[in-house]
């Protein structure tokens, strides 16, 4: 079963966790209010999601959308599974794309919804559309344009950094100017599902599933894999010039964003969703993406591409939700795609690039514009985090954290990655 993901500039938002049909508010009949829940797994837009729910209610007084979030202790798929186990699933659940298949028997068929006809690309599982692609996102090395140009004393061409050696040379120039070249965020989800996943996406044939199958079968020896070693060579360079190298685990999401926004560090590794955090410290700043090089061959495609994909998907529960709740949930999804307020939420509040052809709004922020530019130029590799199990970010994110902190060498890291995949179900 392959979930065909929309990979064109996409945007959206949402999430909530829920109550079952018997407890989730009124039935919706006879003009009564319907309450639905939305499990939001994008914590960085929780406030914006709450505001969108309030806007939707103003336009639809008979529907209440309660937004709940995941916790740091649970992955989105764990949270959704726990809600089902408790008999109180969310009416709408936003999960990582790779986890949707686990709930295919609990998800309502959305194939007949109006927005399916406006998808830029199909989004099907076993021939049916069972999920709403909320966000097309991209990630790589985020740089502060002003900080880099100040260090270089002139204009910066991101296309000139297409090898690990070129990246280190740039870091040396930035460091010589008195600015820290990079602030690496220590988040397990970032290191595990984003950075490490580049080793899966950047393989020569570009087929993520084939490489993961080799890992599962114990046939992919990472110690001898050129892409894995090239990627880790780049990570070693990043560690060498890391602003927080004396205490790398202390650099969290907010700290890495603040350092780059203020120009204390020129770069960090993250995705376009970071823009909201960057703008807290530098609302008018201009930021861009550099690909993460995996070799010293400028002709290797991954050295000029960022990871891009439909990262978050929303499904509608049919197991516990009443027909009225399912109808209300579908109305909320349609509101996101067709109403001005919904579109504004996706593009300008949630900072996602929509997966729908009818949404003409252009990203107002520089990272959204950069994602669109890389996408339009065909300079992308798969967002491999969409292909991995729900515990990947926790297990191998912890392995990457040990490597970042100098508590594991490359051989130990490779062994933990291989052990994870050979034991993966």
Q: In this predicted structure, what is the pLDDT of residue 31?
A: 63
Give the HSE-up count for residue 410: Cα atoms under 13 Å, Cβ half-sphere. Answer: 14
Are residue 277 and residue 215 in the same domain, yes or no? yes
In angstroms, the CA 188 to CA 190 distance is: 5
Residue 17 lies in a domain: no
**Number of folded domains that form the chain:** 2
Do 320 and 188 have their domain in common? no
Q: In whole angstroms, give the CA distance from residue 184 to residue 174.
A: 16
Give the residue numbers spanning the domain of 174. Answer: 138-308+377-423
* Structure token digits, residue 196: 């490490």
What is the reported pLDDT for 127? 92
Half-sphere exposure of 329 (CA within 13 A, CB side): 35
Domain identity same for 179 and 269: yes
132 and 144 together in one domain:
no
Residues in a beta bridge with 128? 125
In this structure, are 170 and 297 located in the same domain? yes
Q: Is residue 26, in this structure, part of any structural domain at all?
A: no
Same-domain check for residues 183 and 77: no
CATH code for the domain of 81: 3.40.190.10
Specify the DSSP element, H or E, that contains 236: helix 226-240
3 within domain boundaries: no
pLDDT of residue 7: 35
Residue 151 belongs to some domain of the structure: yes
Would you state the pLDDT for residue 280? 95
Domain assignment present for residue 18? The answer is no
109 with 133, same domain: the answer is yes
Task: Reduce the DSSP state of residue 267 to 3 states and report it.
Answer: strand
Residue 144 shares a structural domain with residue 242: yes
Do both 297 and 396 map to the same domain? yes
What's the confidence (pLDDT) of residue 30? 52
Kindly state whether residue 131 falls inside one of the protein's structural domains.
Answer: yes
Judge if 316 and 385 occupy the same domain: no
**pLDDT block averages, 10 residues each, the chain of length 425:** 38 35 42 92 94 98 95 84 97 93 96 94 90 93 98 96 98 98 97 98 93 96 97 98 97 97 98 94 97 98 94 96 98 98 95 89 92 88 91 95 98 98 90
Q: pTM value?
A: 0.79
Cβ burial, residue 216 (10 Å; 0-12/13-18/19+): middle
Q: Do 407 and 299 share a domain, yes or no? A: yes
Position 136 scores a pLDDT of: 86
Q: Which residue has the tokens 């996602």?
A: 352
Rounded Cα gap, residues 368 and 138, in angstroms: 9
3-class DSSP state for residue 335? Answer: helix
Per-residue pLDDT, 29: 45
86 and 116 both lie in a single domain: yes
> What angle do helix axes 208-216 and 410-422 make, rounded to 10 degrees?
90
134: DSSP letter:
E
| Residue 94, domain member (yes or no) | yes
Final residue of a structural domain among 325, 351, 369:
369
250 domain residue, yes or no: yes
């Amino acid at each position: 079963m392959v979930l065909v993901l929309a990979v064109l500039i996409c945007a959206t938002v949402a999430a909530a966790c829920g109550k079952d049909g018997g407890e989730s508010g009124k039935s919706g009949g006879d003009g009564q209010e319907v309450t639905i829940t939305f499990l939001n797994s994008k914590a960085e837009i929780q406030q914006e999601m709450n505001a969108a729910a309030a806007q939707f209610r103003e336009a639809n007084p008979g529907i209440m959308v309660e937004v709940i979030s995941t916790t740091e202790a649970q992955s989105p798929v764990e949270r959704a599974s726990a809600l089902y186990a408790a008999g109180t699933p969310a009416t709408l659940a936003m999960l990582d794309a790779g986890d949707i298949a686990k709930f295919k028997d609990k998800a309502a068929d959305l194939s007949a919804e109006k927005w399916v006809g406006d998808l830029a690309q199909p989004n099907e599982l076993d021939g049916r559309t069972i999920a709403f692609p909320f966000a097309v996102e991209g990630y790589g090395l985020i740089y502060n344009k002003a900080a880099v140009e100040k260090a270089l004393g002139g204009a910066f061409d991101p296309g000139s950094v297409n090898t690990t050696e070129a990246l280190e040379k740039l870091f040396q120039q930035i460091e010589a100017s008195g600015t820290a070249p990079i602030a690496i965020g220590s988040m397990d989800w970032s290191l595990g599902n984003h950075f490490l996943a580049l080793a899966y996406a950047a393989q020569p044939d570009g087929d993520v599933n084939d490489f993961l199958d080799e890992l599962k079968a114990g046939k992919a020896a990472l110690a001898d894999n050129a892409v894995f070693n090239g990627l880790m060579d780049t990570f070693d360079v990043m560690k060498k010039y890391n602003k927080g190298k004396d205490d790398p685990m202390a650099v969290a999401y907010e700290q890495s964003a603040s350092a780059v926004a203020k120009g204390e560090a020129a770069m960090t590794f993250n995705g376009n969703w970071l823009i909201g955090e960057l703008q807290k410290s530098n609302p008018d700043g201009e930021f861009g993406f550099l690909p993460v090089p995996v070799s010293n061959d400028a002709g290797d495609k991954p050295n000029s591409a960022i990871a891009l994909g439909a990262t978050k998907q929303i499904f509608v529960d049919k197991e516990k939700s009443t027909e009225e709740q399912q109808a209300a949930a579908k109305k909320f999804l349609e509101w996101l795609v067709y109403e001005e307020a919904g579109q504004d939420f996706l593009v300008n509040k949630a900072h996602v690039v929509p997966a729908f052809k009818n949404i003409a709004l252009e990203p107002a922020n520089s990272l959204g514009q950069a994602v669109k530019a890389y996408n339009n130029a065909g300079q992308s590799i798969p967002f491999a985090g969409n292909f991995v199990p729900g515990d990947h970010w926790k297990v191998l994110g912890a392995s990457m954290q040990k490597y970042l902190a100098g508590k594991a060498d490359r051989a130990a890291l490779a062994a933990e990655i291989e052990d994870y995949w050979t034991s993966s179900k």
